[in-house]
Amino acid sequence: MGLKINEETLDAVDEIYHSLYTEQEGKFVLTGIDGMKTDADISRMNVALTKERAATNELKQKFSILAGKDPIEILASLDRIPELEALAAGNKVDEEKIETIVETRLRAKLNPLERQLEAEKAKIVSLEGINKMFIEKEKTVSIHSAVRKAATAANVRPEAIDDAITLAERFFELSDDGSVIAKDVAGVTQGIDPAMWLSDLQAKKPHWWGENVGGGAGGTNSNSGFSGISNPWTADNWNLTEQGKLYSKNPAKAEQMANAAGSTVGASRPTKK
């Protein structure tokens, strides 16, 4: 589980991360990561985005008086007013002149509204971009935290942890439930967590463990042989033979892969979507 921005106490937080928190108003806030945004920052940004959307809706309501009517029909209706007035006065109607006057006046009314509407749209796009950036940063922090925690538990050398985090960015994502799991990309088994991933890497990255590799660092088996395979519990890759092989080598990892595919060991083949 990744680090939370706000904690009531630090009892459930590993001691190695205590220095990243600052006590504020009786709570502990994650402030030790550069660029980290708090819930309050995101909340203020969402409030601003809501205001901009409200302003845009207001502009749309102003334009609603034209809803459902063709601009040509509107111009034709406006044309009739000065024409009828001219006829009532017994004057000859200059249709070309009247049309020019109507178009000029209508454009003078519409131009400011259109410019304001475009400006509001631009603000919304900008705020939505900022909001997306905050969300992506929060996801990145969660992935970094999970990989760092797993690497520490697996006795990865401190100076190699940053390399592990950099490599993990290519393979991991944040699931809907907040778990950090491997994506469906080449070079990693879909659905495994950072701990299993590091176990697979011991044979390929022995320098991350130094002298500990081969001696059971972190209680893992570097010859698990699962790195980069397809998940045989998914509907597209369903394979009972491979499931059996995986379970015989590492039951815990087999269970994890089955769960990641929305299945269980021994279950029936799911229906393809």
Residues 6+ apart with CB under 8 A from 218: 153, 154, 155, 195, 198, 199
Instruction: Determine the pLDDT at residue 225.
Output: 44
Mean pLDDT, residues 72-95 taken together: 65
195: left (phi over 0), alpha (psi -120 to 50) or beta: alpha
Residue 175 to residue 182: CA distance in whole angstroms:
9
Give the integer Cα–Cα distance in Å for 197 and 189. 8
Question: Can you tell me the mean pLDDT for 43-64?
Answer: 78
Q: Where are the alpha helices (DSSP H) in 172-234?
A: 194-201
207 or 135: which leads in pLDDT:
207
Element (H, E) at 22: strand 21-24
Query: Residue 208's pLDDT is what?
Result: 93
Structure confidence by residue, pLDDT tens digits, 208-259: 987 544 444 444 443 344 444 578 888 888 888 888 888 888 787 788 778 7
pLDDT interval class at 35 (50, 70, 90): low
The predicted pLDDT at position 88 comes to 59
Whole-model pTM? Answer: 0.42
Q: What is the mean pLDDT of the chain?
A: 78
pLDDT in the model for residue 71: 60
Q: Regarding beta strands 6-7 and 27-30, do their DSSP bridges make them parallel or antiparallel, or are they unpaired?
A: antiparallel
Q: How many C-beta neighbours within 10 Å does residue 223 have?
A: 10
pLDDT number for residue 167: 92
DSSP structure class, residue 206: G
61 sits in which H/E element? helix 39-63
What's residue 214's pLDDT? 46
pLDDT digits (tens, 9 = 90+) for 161-198: 999 999 999 999 988 888 899 888 888 888 888 998 99
For the chain, the domains span: 39-135, 158-260
Q: Residues 112-127: what's their mean pLDDT?
A: 87
Residue 137: name the closest of 181, 174, 163 by CA.
Answer: 174
